[in-house]
Chains A and B, each alone.
Chain A
Amino acid sequence: QSALTQPPSASGSPGQSVTISCSGTSNDIGAYNYVSWYQHPPGKAPKLVIYDVNKRPSGVPDRFSGSKSGNVASLTVSGLQTDDEADYHCTSFAGTHNWVFGGGTKLTVL
């Protein structure tokens, strides 16, 4: 069982927006603004899309945005494209030299 809780699946049509939640505790998400999100297409390596809750690495389109409220972090993908179809994994800092992941959410673009 993963430390962070994500819905197993999410879906949306091209052009729509979808939000994926990631629920933690006051020891991880609630304690720090150090949440990252990874996009993991089938058969490929994961790719960092959000870090520090809401920052995008260079090259990640602004269709990807992150937020946090209390112990819950969220990733929103706007203007859905077929290329966005992938598993999305959240992770949070949980104290010195410790990080926890969610179980992943499979995003389907209908």
Chain B
Amino acid sequence: EVQLVQSGAEVKKPGESLRISCKGFGYNFFGYWIGWVRQMPGKGLEWMGIIYPDSSSPIYSPSFQGQVTMSVDKSINAAYLQWSSLEASDTAMYYCARWGGPTLTSLYFDYWGQGALVTVSS
């Protein structure tokens, strides 16, 4: 069974760093792009970027370029989303998802993690 399991909720202060994780189970982790999606409180979904585990090549949404860093650890089938200096506006639910489509056209996330709630408050 395909599963994406994300790390737990985090409460941080502005200026702190953070890395959240997403581990893939039940499929060839190296063969599928992993994406990250943000949902701020009361708002819609936002595509943040995708990363190909085999090559560790990230593609960022223009809105998130320079704001976050995506990476992978191939040895443990994990993808990461990282902030070097959090802001209150980073408070949101963050989902990882597997790109199941044959091409990078229609946004085709077929399996999703359970989400990780990040709260940034002084």
Listed in ascending order, the chain A residues whose CB lies under 8 Å from chain B are 2, 6, 32, 34-36, 38, 40, 45-48, 51-52, 57, 89, 91, 93, 97-104
Contacts and interface: CB of A to CB of B under 8 A. Distances in A.
A34 B105 CA distance: 6
Contact of A52 (B44, B50, B106): B106
B16 interface: no
Interface of B: 37, 43-47, 50, 59, 61-62, 95, 97, 101, 104-110, 112-115
Contacts of A35: 106
Given A36-B106, A48-B108, A100 B95 contact: no
B108 to A, nearest CB: 5
Contacts of A46: 37, 45, 95, 97, 109, 112
19 contacts: A2-B44, A6-B44, A34-B106, A38-B109, A45-B112, A47-B112, A48-B108, A51-B107, A57-B110, A89-B44, A89-B45, A91-B47, A93-B106, A93-B107, A97-B50, A98-B61, A98-B62, A101-B44, A102-B44
**Residue of A2, A35, A101 with highest tally of chain B CB at under 10 A:** A101
Contact of A99 (B97, B107, B112, B115): B107
A19 to B, nearest CB: 19
A89 B44 CA distance: 7
Given A2-B44, A45-B95, A104-B45, A36 B112 contact: no
Contact of B47 (A47, A57, A99): A99
Given A46-B109, A48-B109, A91-B45, 8 more contacts: A6-B44, A36-B106, A45-B112, A51-B101, A52-B105, A98-B61, A99-B47, A104-B45
A29 B106 CA distance: 11
A45 B106 contact: no
A62 B110 CA distance: 18
Contacts of B109: 38, 46, 48
Nearest to A97: B59
Given A36-B106, A51-B101, A45 B47 contact: no
